[in-house]
Amino acid sequence: MKSKTAIYPGSFDPITLGHLDIIHRAAKLFDRLIVVVMVNPAKKCAFSPEERVELIKKCTTDLDNITVEFSDGLLADYAKEKQAGAIIKGLRALSDFEYEFQMALTNSKLNPDVETLFLTTKAENMYLSSSMVRQIASMGGDVSGFVPDIIHKQIINRLKG
Ligand code: COA
């Protein structure tokens, strides 16, 4: 059976305009898109899982075919549980490629029913990352061009000082 469900995983600490662009484009390609906040064991997150889910929900109220969840399990298992046929990832620069390639191969070994699909990040978001946003906001800088307007204040208040 062809799956019409895709998963967009990430640590989203916090969601940025780059992530939001991928969400909008992926939501057009699939009947159902699950945005899932997951654990990257290599990272120590600033926002709690609940906060990250809430921030994503706030800036995606215009999309009626997405759901936002948290999972602390393996991505391959989560895709199986949700019967998802695709994992969506955004590719920024060549530097992302090796790591993404390794994850895609590992996930397909763990769950042969899921394909990883890469969407190229928009040129203006090529340099963007959540850690950059956190660093700028925590030092009192302007991140309005990097995060959705609706959550801008919340991010600033949470990270400043
Ligand atoms: N525009 C702008 N920035 C983007 C972007 C886009 N389209 N897509 C990604 N980024 C940024 C992210 O903000 C992130 O920035 P940061 O490093 O400062 O946090 C960076 O690019 C890397 O993003 P990504 O490659 O998606 O990593 P991640 O840490 O957000 O997510 C998981 C990785 C959570 C999906 C991965 O660790 C995972 O699958 N965990 C579950 C456990 C598991 O199954 N492990 C085995 C994997 S094989």
Chain-centroid distance, C-alpha 135: 19
Ligand 1 atom closest to residue 21's alpha carbon, by position in its atom list? 7
The residue nearest atom 1 of ligand 1, judged by CA position, is 18
pLDDT in the model for residue 95? 78
Site to substitute for ligand 1 among 81, 129, 136, most atoms within 8 A of C-beta: 129
pLDDT over 90 at 3, yes or no? no
Q: Which is more confident, 92 or 31?
A: 31
Question: Does residue 121 line the site of ligand 1, with CB under 6 A?
Answer: yes
| Residue-wise pLDDT tens digits, 97-147 | 899 999 999 999 999 999 999 999 999 998 899 999 999 999 999 999 999
| Residue-wise pLDDT tens digits, 8-31 | 999 999 999 999 999 999 999 999
CA of 122 to the centre of ligand 1 (A): 16
Beta partners for residue 93, in sequence order: none
pLDDT in the model for residue 56? 98
Q: Which value, to the nearest 10 degrees, does the dihedral of the CA atoms of residues 13, 131, 114, 6 take?
A: 50
Ranges of H-type helices in the chain: 17-29, 49-58, 75-81, 94-110, 130-138, 149-159
Question: Does residue 103 line the site of ligand 1, with CB under 6 A?
Answer: yes
Ligand 1 atom closest to residue 119's alpha carbon, by position in its atom list? 7
pTM (predicted TM-score)? 0.96
